[in-house]
Structure 1
Amino acid sequence: MTTVAAAGDRLKNMPLPPAPFLSSVMQIEPQWIDYNGHLNMAYYNVMMDRAIDEMWLQLGIGPAYMKERHSSTFTAECHVRYIREIHLGDPVQISVYLLGHDEKRLHTFEELRHATEGWLSATSENMTLHMDMNARKVAPFPPDIRARIQAVVDSHAAVPRPEGVGRKVAMPSG
Structure 2
Amino acid sequence: MILLETRVDPTWVDYNGHMNDAEYARLFSLAADALMDHIGLDAEGRQRLGYTLYTLETHLCYQREAHQGEALQVRFVLLDHDAKRLHAGFELFNAGAQRLATSEQMLMAIDTTTVRPAAFPAEVAQAIDTLPRLSAGQWPDFAGRRVGIRR
Fold in common (TM above 0.5): yes
Distance 1:169 1:24 in 2: 27
Q: Supply the AA of the counterpart residue of 1:129.
A: M
Name which of 119, 144, 150 aligns with 1:166.
144
* Corresponding residue for residue 149 of structure 1: 128
Aligned length: 150
Deviations 1:82-108 (A, max 9, x none): 001111111100111111111111100
Structure 2: distance between partners of 1:23 and 1:35: 29
Equivalent-residue separation in structure 1 for 2:148 and 2:42 (angstroms) = 35
The alpha carbon displacement at 1:110 in A equals: 0.6
The amino acid of 2:83's aligned partner reads E
Q: Partner residue of 1:104?
A: 84
Q: Is 1:43 the equivalent of 2:23?
A: yes
Structure-1 residue corresponding to 2:54: 74
Deviation at 1:161, TM superposition (A): 3.4
Larger Rg: 1
Q: Report which stretch shifted further, 55-64 or 76-85.
A: 55-64
Secondary structure at 1:146 match in 2? helix
Deviations 1:38-77, CA, capped at 9 Å, x for gaps:
1111110111121222222221122221111111001010
Give yes or no for contact 1:32–1:43 (8 Å, CA) kept in 2: yes
Q: For 1:104-123, what aligned pairs fall within 5 Å after superposition?
A: 104-114=84-94, 116-123=95-102
Percent identity (aligned): 31
Structure 2: 5+ residue stretches without partners? none
Determine if contact 1:52/1:96 at 8 Å carries over to the other structure. no
Q: How does 1:117-136 map to 2 (within 5 A)?
A: 117-136=96-115
**Which aligned segments of 4 or more residues in structure 1 are displaced greater than 4 angstroms?**
none
Gaps of 5+ in 1: 1-20
In terms of fraction of residues, the more strand-rich structure is: 2
SS of the residue aligned with 1:128? strand
1:89 aligns with 2:69: yes
RMSD: 1.5
Summarize the alignment of residues 7-86 of structure 1 with structure 2, pairs less than 5 Å apart: 21-86=1-66
Match of 1:140 among 105, 119, 138: 119
Distance 1:147 1:23, change over 3 A: closer
